[in-house]
């Protein structure tokens, strides 16, 4: 091969290079031939030169020193009389990502940017973007950006298009936060002129740039729209969608009811419909974009329902997307047609599609009130088919219809109950149980139906168990005389036999409510339900506006902003301009804030769709945390006695109080808050004094401008995560959410993370997040390690921190002396661990000790230590003095039920305290020592 490459015959040399390229293409290493191939560059044959350049691009990175040999040829070729060779040379130099060669590229590139041939200029424009990716500072220092901006005024449309593409690429990668391409009226005019003459991809780049321009007034916006509108008739789908993106943005600047907007609306529909005649993949992309457009401007396609009807040969992904758009476009005018189609789809063979079609019928009933009766009738017809998965989906959506239209269609319940035995899917079973519990007074054998579910209670899905518990409590409150045994059975199963914390907590809440005040229980459990929202899967408005600005890109297909899936993206965030025409249905102009507030208050509470309740950071802050109801006075019998004699017989007690053996309360003592207080975290006692200082959890360089300092605290039995959010970025940060990974203590957010307003640049905000210990448990190393995910409008960020152990010390950790002594003896001696706590200031939190130290003073020292520890729920059980050495014995109870017994040895005059601790779980020892060390040093 070497000899052929060094041959004097041009044809033989060319064939040899072709063989080398062929070997390289199939993955063979031919880097050993680098010098010989480089020698072939000295030729006038364009085909051979292209092959050699191709080889160089592939191997220059692995052979940088050898690649330098080719620099002179590159520089020489950049001045070749043939423009194709000049362009080829500058393109290849841009593709060779070697710093040593990059230095030599600047001068030839500068000449090529001013070349007389437009082909060379357009190639050089793209080369600037490639060079910026290799060495951004060099591009800025050498003035290439200014030369690119000059090319925007070039006479050749392709040069303009490539200059726009290059500037856009550089802009996306820029970290300055400032747009490099400042569009003004003159530049806009040149871009619009070039738009008509360049290639289709050039048009896409120009249209994308135009979409980022902000017209100074409505007249200019209309003028731009008129010049863009012809692009809607282009054969390329990317050009059409890019034109739609521009028009959608500029329409925001016009009055909604203006004649121009009405005409533009009519022009936008046909090209979108035409896209649905393409191949399935293009159809899917078009449908995903149309889904966004319809959410923003439903009037665009309101008369085009038929084009979204599913064809028999459509792929499943196209079918499902069409179905979604059909529901969005459903209205009183077309609902009959839509229902007829949906009923037909429900008889298809594709199970997923049939399920979606049945759910779509339910969504139509909720959205279009006049069609609800027809929808219910259609669903009943489908139930009569006895197809298992159809019946189950129908029951799920009928439950939602009952929620939307209470006391209207309950006559069909008997038909639903006939299919009870066929239900095997958790969601369908849970829906049926909800219906039985909600309408128990209308179902004669409701107790028998619910009892049939209890037989396999522990084998049921959690969703079914929770629903069954609530349904039986509802039944009991409606028919207390004959369902006492049933409610006792379900409460026992939920609180005593279940390992699920959610189920157990709900069972305890119901138990306490029923036992203290059945009247209050009735108000809580049988309260009026909020209405189901018409649209439960609409994209959040600010995100929708951003996605509209990204039509014709991957963001519009994923329905996520680019920052969510492009790693390291720092480009400018796009948003629609503020509308001058108001929302659809308004007469024009913006409403006063008071009127807007009244409208928001009048809207029904939105119940999120079941599909949206996945444990995903993007869907976390759907509902605010429920507010704990005020404590009710104890029930003493009387007119509210639902059982005729109170709930005492149910709980095994007599008279007006709960029998200690049966009530699920603490064994040792019952505070005034009682069990309900424990459930809602309302423990008595003073606030914990010790809170560790805040540490940097997420530095700004890892948080893309967001820096988080944080610590943990326990006050009044409530664990909180205290954070300070610093915004060191150039733009406001908002849309905060948090998720905690499984951990050793089941720590999880008790409510969503609430940041009241966007955090402005160079501003900080303090956030307190209440935590619970009812989450999933997984052993971590170290034990108190916590992995955290924080989501905001920029990205999702991950970090880990170590929780201080004292936040898990509970308020009921005081042991009796005899129990302490017996437990200490019972724990094996090998489970005892010793630590030394040094440099303790013995005069902290007490009166200074006089020189003539006495036993009283020593007690004062011990009392100071004891009091300080007790504020963090470390309870002193006993004190004693052994050979001049003071001993303190304490007990600690952790939130997971683990007990820790400690002994503190305090030597008068010595600043070192010896800590001995015993526990059946020695893994907690290091964390306990660190807690003591922190508390005693604070």
User: Tokens in use for 155?
Assistant: 């006479």
- Tell me what the mean pLDDT of segment 853-871 comes to: 68
Q: Tell me the percentage of the chain whose pLDDT exceeds 70.
A: 82
- Tell me what the mean pLDDT of segment 185-189 comes to: 81
Is 90 exceeded by the pLDDT of residue 890? yes
CB 919 within 8 A of CB 900: yes
| 226: Cβ contacts below 8 Å, ≥ 6 apart | none
Is 90 exceeded by the pLDDT of residue 55? no
755-777 residue pLDDT tens: 888 888 888 999 999 999 988 98
346-382 residue pLDDT tens: 888 888 899 899 988 988 888 888 888 888 888 988 8
Q: For position 610, what pLDDT does the model report?
A: 36
User: Tokens in use for 662?
Assistant: 């049966």
Please, what is the average pLDDT of the chain? Answer: 79
For the residues of 726-772, what is the DSSP string, one character each?
A: EE-SSS-B---EEEE--BTT--EESS----SS-B-TT-EEEEEEEEE
User: Tokens in use for 843?
Assistant: 């005069």
CB 404 within 8 A of CB 366: yes
444-471 residue pLDDT tens: 888 888 888 888 888 888 999 999 999 9
CB 388 within 8 A of CB 422: yes
Q: For position 795, what pLDDT does the model report?
A: 87
Q: For position 149, what pLDDT does the model report?
A: 84
Alpha-carbon gap, residue 356 to 738, rounded angstroms: 31
Alpha-carbon gap, residue 522 to 316, rounded angstroms: 47
Q: For position 573, what pLDDT does the model report?
A: 62
Backbone angles phi, psi at 725, to 5 degrees: -100, 120
| 612: Cβ contacts below 8 Å, ≥ 6 apart | 536, 537, 619, 622
Q: 915: which strand partners?
A: 835, 904
Q: For position 470, what pLDDT does the model report?
A: 93
Best CA proximity match to 333, nearest among 373, 361, 304, 353: 304
| 560: Cβ contacts below 8 Å, ≥ 6 apart | 618
Distances (CA, A) of 561 to 77, 403, 794: 43, 34, 9
338-349 residue pLDDT tens: 898 898 888 888
Hey, how many other C-beta atoms are within 10 angstroms of the C-beta on 536? Answer: 16
802-827 residue pLDDT tens: 999 999 999 998 988 888 888 888 88
User: Tokens in use for 53?
Assistant: 């350049």
Is 90 exceeded by the pLDDT of residue 210? no
**Confidence at 852, pLDDT banded by 50, 70, 90:** very low
**Side-chain-side CA neighbours of residue 206 (13 Å):** 30
Is 90 exceeded by the pLDDT of residue 721? yes
Query: Is residue 541 helix, strand or coil?
Result: helix
- To the nearest 10 degrees (0 to 180), the angle between helices 144-151 and 118-134 is 140
Is 70 exceeded by the pLDDT of residue 238? yes
Is 60 exceeded by the pLDDT of residue 628? no
Q: For position 893, what pLDDT does the model report?
A: 93
Best CA proximity match to 288, nearest among 303, 305, 277, 276: 276
- Tell me what the mean pLDDT of segment 185-198 comes to: 84
Q: For position 13, what pLDDT does the model report?
A: 77
384-396 residue pLDDT tens: 888 888 888 899 9
- To the nearest 10 degrees (0 to 180), the angle between helices 335-345 and 372-384 is 20
- To the nearest 10 degrees (0 to 180), the angle between helices 46-59 and 10-25 is 30
Q: 903: which strand partners?
A: 889, 916
Distances (CA, A) of 324 to 338, 437, 538, 866: 12, 32, 11, 65
Is 60 exceeded by the pLDDT of residue 635? no
Q: For position 637, what pLDDT does the model report?
A: 36
Alpha-carbon gap, residue 221 to 204, rounded angstroms: 19
Residue 672 or 206, more confident = 206
CB 511 within 8 A of CB 524: no
Is 80 exceeded by the pLDDT of residue 648? no
CB 130 within 8 A of CB 96: no
Distances (CA, A) of 66 to 60, 95, 668: 8, 16, 83
Q: For position 147, what pLDDT does the model report?
A: 86
**Confidence at 502, pLDDT banded by 50, 70, 90:** very high
Q: For position 685, what pLDDT does the model report?
A: 40
Q: How many helices (H) and strands (E) does the chain have?
A: 38, 13
Q: 881: which strand partners?
A: 886
CB 814 within 8 A of CB 684: no
Is 70 exceeded by the pLDDT of residue 107? yes
Q: Tell me the percentage of the chain whose pLDDT exceeds 90.
A: 17
660-686 residue pLDDT tens: 333 333 333 333 333 333 333 333 344
Alpha-carbon gap, residue 244 to 553, rounded angstroms: 12
User: Tokens in use for 28?
Assistant: 């063979």
Query: Is residue 345 helix, strand or coil?
Result: helix
Residue 145 or 721, more confident = 721
109-159 residue pLDDT tens: 888 888 899 999 999 999 888 888 888 888 888 888 888 888 888 888 899
Is 60 exceeded by the pLDDT of residue 649? no
CB 119 within 8 A of CB 152: no
406-421 residue pLDDT tens: 878 878 888 888 888 7
Q: 123: which strand partners?
A: none
Q: For position 254, what pLDDT does the model report?
A: 83
Alpha-carbon gap, residue 500 to 505, rounded angstroms: 9
Is 50 exceeded by the pLDDT of residue 311? yes
Cα four-point dihedral sign 778, 781, 782, 788: negative
Residue 854 or 565, more confident = 565
Q: Which range, of 133-137, 262-266, 313-317, averages the lowest pLDDT?
A: 133-137
Q: Per the confidence metrics, is the pTM higher than 0.95?
A: no
- Tell me what the mean pLDDT of segment 546-571 comes to: 82
The verdict on whether omega for the bond into residue 782 sits within 30 degrees of 0, i.e. cis, is: yes
Distance, CA of 35 to chain centre: 53
For the residues of 408-435, what is the DSSP string, one character each?
A: TSGGGHHHHHTTGGG--SHHHHHHHHHH
The per-residue b/e assignment along 401-415, b for 16 or more CB within 10 angstroms, e otherwise, is bbbbbeeebeebbee
Gyration radius (Cα) of the chain, Å? 37
């Amino acid at each position: 091969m070497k000899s052929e490459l060094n041959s004097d015959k041009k044809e033989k040399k060319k064939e040899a290079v072709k063989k080398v390229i062929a070997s390289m293409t199939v993955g063979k290493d031919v880097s050993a031939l680098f010098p010989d191939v480089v020698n072939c560059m000295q030729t006038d044959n364009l085909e051979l030169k292209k092959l050699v350049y191709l080889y160089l691009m592939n191997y220059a990175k692995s052979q940088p020193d050898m690649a330098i040999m080719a620099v002179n040829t590159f520089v020489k070729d950049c001045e070749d009389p043939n423009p194709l060779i000049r362009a080829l040379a500058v393109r290849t130099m841009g593709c060779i990502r070697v710093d040593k060669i990059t230095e030599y590229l600047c001068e030839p590139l500068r000449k090529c940017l001013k070349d007389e041939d437009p082909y060379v200029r357009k190639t050089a424009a793209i080369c600037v973007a490639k060079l910026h990716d290799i060495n951004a500072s060099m591009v800025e220092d050498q003035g290439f950006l200014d030369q690119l901006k000059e090319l925007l005024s070039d006479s050749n449309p392709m040069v303009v298009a490539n200059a726009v593409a290059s500037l856009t690429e550089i802009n996306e990668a820029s970290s300055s936060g400032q747009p490099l391409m400042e569009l003004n009226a003159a530049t806009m005019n040149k871009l619009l002129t070039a738009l008509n003459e360049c290639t289709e991809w050039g048009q896409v780049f120009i249209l994308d740039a135009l979409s980022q321009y902000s017209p100074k007034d409505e007249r200019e916006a209309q003028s731009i729209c008129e010049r863009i509108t012809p692009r809607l008739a282009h054969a390329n789908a990317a050009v059409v969608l890019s034109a739609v993106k521009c028009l959608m943005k500029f329409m925001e600047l016009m009055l909604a009811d203006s004649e121009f907007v009405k005409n533009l609306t009519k022009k936008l529909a046909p090209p979108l419909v035409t896209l649905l005649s393409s191949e399935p993949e293009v159809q899917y992309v078009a449908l995903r974009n149309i889904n966004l457009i319809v959410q923003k401007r439903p009037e665009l396609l309101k008369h085009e329902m038929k084009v979204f009807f599913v064809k028999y040969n459509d792929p499943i992904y196209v079918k499902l997307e069409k179905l979604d758009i059909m529901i969005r476009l459903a209205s009183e005018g077309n609902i009959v047609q839509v229902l007829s189609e949906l009923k037909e789809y429900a008889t298809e063979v594709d199970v997923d599609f049939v399920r979606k079609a049945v759910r779509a019928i339910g969504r139509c009933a909720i959205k279009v009130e006049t069609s609800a009766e027809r929808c219910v009738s259609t669903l009943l017809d489908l139930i009569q088919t006895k197809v298992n998965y159809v019946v189950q989906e129908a029951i799920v959506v009928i439950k939602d219809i009952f929620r939307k239209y209470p006391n209207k269609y309950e006559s069909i319940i008997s038909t639903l109950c006939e299919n009870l035995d066929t239900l095997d899917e958790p969601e369908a079973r849970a829906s049926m149980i909800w219906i039985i519990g909600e309408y128990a007074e209308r179902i004669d054998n409701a107790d028998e139906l619910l009892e049939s579910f209890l037989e396999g209670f522990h084998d049921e899905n959690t969703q079914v168990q929770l629903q069954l518990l609530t349904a039986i409590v509802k039944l009991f409150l409606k028919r207390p005389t004959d369902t006492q045994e049933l409610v006792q059975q379900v409460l026992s199963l939920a609180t005593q036999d279940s390992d699920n914390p959610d189920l157990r907590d709900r069972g305890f809440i119901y138990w306490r409510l029923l036992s203290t005040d059945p009247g209050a229980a009735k108000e809580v459990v049988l309260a009026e339900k909020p209405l189901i929202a018409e649209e439960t899967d609409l994209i959040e408005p600010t995100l929708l506006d951003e996605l509209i600005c990204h039509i014709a890109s991957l963001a519009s297909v994923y329905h996520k902003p680019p920052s969510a899936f492009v790693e390291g993206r720092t480009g400018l965030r796009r948003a629609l301009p503020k509308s001058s025409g108001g929302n659809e249905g308004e007469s024009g102009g913006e409403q006063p804030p008071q009127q807007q507030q009244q409208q928001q208050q009048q809207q029904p509470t939105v119940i999120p769709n079941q599909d949206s309740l996945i444990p995903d950071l993007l869907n976390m802050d759907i509902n605010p945390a429920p507010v704990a109801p005020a404590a009710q006075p104890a029930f003493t019998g009387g007119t509210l006695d639902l059982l005729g004699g109170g709930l005492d017989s149910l709980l095994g007690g007599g008279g007006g109080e709960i029998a200690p053996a049966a009530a699920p309360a603490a064994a040792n003592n019952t505070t005034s808050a009682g069990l309900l207080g424990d459930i809602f975290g309302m423990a008595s006692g003073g606030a914990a004094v010790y809170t560790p200082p805040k540490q940097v959890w997420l530095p700004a360089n890892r948080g893309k401008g967001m820096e988080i300092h944080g610590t943990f605290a326990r006050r009044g039995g409530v664990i909180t995560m205290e954070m300070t959010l610093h915004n060191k970025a150039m733009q406001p940060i908002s849309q905060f959410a948090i998720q905690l990974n499984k951990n050793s203590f089941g720590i999880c957010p008790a409510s969503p993370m609430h940041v009241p307003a966007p955090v402005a640049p160079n501003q900080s905000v303090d956030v307190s997040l209440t935590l619970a210990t009812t989450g999933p448990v997984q052993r971590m190393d170290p034990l108190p390690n916590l992995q955290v995910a924080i989501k905001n409008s920029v990205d999702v960020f991950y970090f880990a921190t170590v929780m201080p152990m004292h936040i898990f010390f509970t308020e009921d950790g005081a042991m009796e002396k005899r129990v302490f002594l017996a437990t200490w003896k019972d724990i094996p001696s090998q489970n005892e661990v010793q630590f030394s706590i040094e440099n303790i200031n013995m005069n902290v939190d007490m009166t200074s000790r006089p020189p003539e130290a006495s036993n009283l003073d020593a007690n004062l020292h011990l009392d100071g230590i004891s009091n300080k520890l007790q504020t963090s729920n470390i309870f002193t059980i006993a004190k004693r003095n052994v050979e001049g050495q003071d001993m303190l014995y304490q007990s600690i109870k952790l939130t997971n039920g683990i007990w820790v017994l400690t002994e503190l040895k305090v030597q008068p005059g010595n600043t070192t305290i010896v800590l001995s601790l015993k526990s059946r779980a020695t893994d907690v020892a290091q964390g306990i020592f660190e807690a003591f060390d922190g508390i005693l040093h604070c």
